[in-house]
Amino acid sequence: METSSPLRHSTYLRRETSTKRSAETFSGTSNRRRIVVVERRLTHYRVPFYNRLRALLASEGIELQLLIGTGTEDEARKQDLARLDWAIPIPTFHFFGQRVCWQPFGAYARQADLVIVNHENKMLYNLWLLFFRRPKRLAFWGHGRNMQSQSPGGLKERFKRWTVAKADWWFAYTDMSAELVEIAGFPRRAITVVENAADTREMTELCEKIRPQDLQSLRQRWQLDRGPVGIYIGSFYPEKRIDFLLAAAHKIRQKIPGFQLVIAGAGLPQEQEWIDRAVQANPWVHYVGPLYGTDKAAGLMLADVLLNPGAVGLGIQDSFVSGTPMLTTDCGLHGPEISYLRSGVNGVMTATDLDTYADSVAEVLSVSETLARLRDGSLESAPRYTIENMAERFHQGVLACLEDIC
């Protein structure tokens, strides 16, 4: 897999030219260009990104219009929605059991120099724009395919691959996403890799403030012994493979008698029942509920390893900012952010086999040099995957796309 620098590909080779022309007219009649970004729903972790992107584009004389719809009833229960005073709400209609969505925003698209939409089959209005009401320039933002599809060869995924090459530009989440887009027939020169990230500034600062006495206090509160600690932090749903995690923990405990497992999070009842039974039967398994802020930072700093044998997404950034190496498997369920993990350097990925995974965790915990190397690699990765860098990459991609029109 190609490794990119923080500002990479042909997008950035034309930065000087793009910047010079950014204040000039695009259409010949106006000095201000406009891009439209459409989000079906706005989550909290996207807010810092959009604020930063808006400022960067404004410095180039480009207006950002962020159009925000509403999520489904199920998504509303997650309580992760956010608001931006400057964002524009648009009507949102869900049909067929919330499996498809119609968000009409043609009036905004017609006035834009560039429209950026998520590459999702369910977004019917995006398809309408793509085939019937094409704006001046249309860009996709996404993964290139459904990373967790149960039927990668099915009709929906085949249709999604077919539409990949129909846009004028691509904003790919990661290098892995860019490769999928290119394989589907889209030219590499028109792909911007944004390296998707959440805002890690607060968690980084919290981790830096954790003192040894804070860790000792937390160890006592969680009733932990002095042995090594593996921690899981995240939601509980099938793709996270909680049952695999618990089975692996037993095997690790057999190899390292002092090993302890801490589980933090919340989710579906089935997975919660497995955890509750494990806690009742094993005094070395500890469930501590969801963790936030200082408690989450202290939990990460207390643990020796971060265990997630199932789907990995932006949670990998917790590993980087805390220096707690993540160990996962090649389960085929990961989000594109898994490409940030370099096995043996800033984390470990094993085969999706129970014994192999448990053996690898036990080895990392048993060899201090290996654990130290992985910790250093994790910390070294943190400065690369930030909101600031992501916004800058996206900003440069917008400039390159607009320049490509002229």
Pick from 208, 224, 386, 206: nearest CA to 304: 224
pLDDT value, residue 125: 87
pLDDT value, residue 4: 37
pLDDT value, residue 128: 87
> Which parts of 165-256 fold into alpha helices (H)?
175-183, 201-209, 212-221, 242-255
In eight-state DSSP terms, residue 97 is T
Same CATH fold, 201-381 and 10-198+386-405?
yes
Give the residue extent of every domain in the chain. 10-198+386-405, 201-381
pTM (two decimals): 0.82
Which CATH number describes the domain made up of 201-381? 3.40.50.2000
Report the alpha-carbon distance of residue 335 to residue 339 in Å, rounded: 9
Selected from 3.40.1360.10, 3.40.50.2000, 3.40.50.12780, 3.90.1150.10, the CATH number assigned to the domain covering 10-198+386-405 reads 3.40.50.2000
Q: What letters, b where the CB count within 10 A reaches 16 and e where it falls short, cover 365-379? A: beeeebbebbbebbb
pLDDT value, residue 78: 63
Beta carbons within 8 Å of 391's beta carbon, 6+ residues apart: 49, 52, 53, 56
pLDDT by residue (tens digit) across 304-328?
999 999 999 999 999 999 999 999 9
Report the alpha-carbon distance of residue 355 to residue 318 in Å, rounded: 26
Q: Count of alpha carbons within 13 Å of 99, Cβ hemisphere only?
A: 3
Ranges under pLDDT 70 in the chain: 1-31, 75-79, 145-154, 156, 405-406
